[in-house]
Amino acid sequence: MEPGLIWILGGLLLLAAELVLPGVFLFWTGLAAIGTGLAMLLVVLPSTGVATLFLLLLAGGIALALWLRRRDPPPAVNRPEAGLVGRHGTLLPGGPGGLRVRIGDSDWPARLPKDMQVPESAIAVRVEGVQGTTLIVRPDAR
């Protein structure tokens, strides 16, 4: 059997394995193997040339995947600021654990901007930002 066809068959098997074992690495390896097989059908390559071509195609595919991944903005799902910034709550008086803000049925650690004094009683606040699990709040002017 022609060595180029063996590379193509191996690449197709790797692509099929990608469907069974989800991940991304077998996809790029399979595409690199198919590309190497197609090149071997067109040009006679020495064994070092075949290995070099395969590694170059594999590195190019992985670089392309990383570039495409970096281009897309990270999803905002499951990030604290995705659902909390802009919400209104009640700043609870400071206790032993520091300031806390109640939003809905949850209490969160909170802090005021540096230019604000800690109030003596509960006040309405608006979430302006998130730092880790601490909400940065400012008194609500509504």
Query: Is the pLDDT assigned to residue 101 strictly greater than 60?
Result: yes
What is the predicted pLDDT for the residue at 61?
Answer: 92
- Name the nearest CA neighbour of 81 among 128, 114, 124: 128
Strand residue runs (E) in the chain: 88-95, 98-103, 106-111, 123-131, 134-139
pLDDT value of residue 79: 64
pLDDT tens digits, residue range 34-51?
Answer: 999 999 999 999 999 999
Select 80-139's CATH number: 2.40.50.140, 3.90.1150.10, 3.40.50.300, 3.40.50.720.
Answer: 2.40.50.140
Of 9-13, 26-30, 109-113, the range with the lowest mean pLDDT is 109-113
The whole-number pLDDT of residue 75 equals 64
Question: What Cα–Cα distance (Å) separates residue 73 from each residue in 68, 69, 70?
Answer: 10, 8, 7
Q: How far is CA 16 from CA 3, 20, 29, 33, 119, in A?
A: 20, 7, 12, 13, 63
Domain boundaries of the chain, sorted by first residue: 3-71, 80-139
pLDDT at 76 over 70: no
Could you tell me the pLDDT band of residue 10, with boundaries at 50, 70 and 90? Answer: very high
pLDDT average, residue stretch 59-88: 78
- Whether the pLDDT of residue 80 is over 60: the answer is no
pLDDT at 81 over 70: no
Task: Provide the pairing of β-strand 106-111 with 134-139.
Answer: parallel
β-bridge pairing 98-103 and 88-95: antiparallel
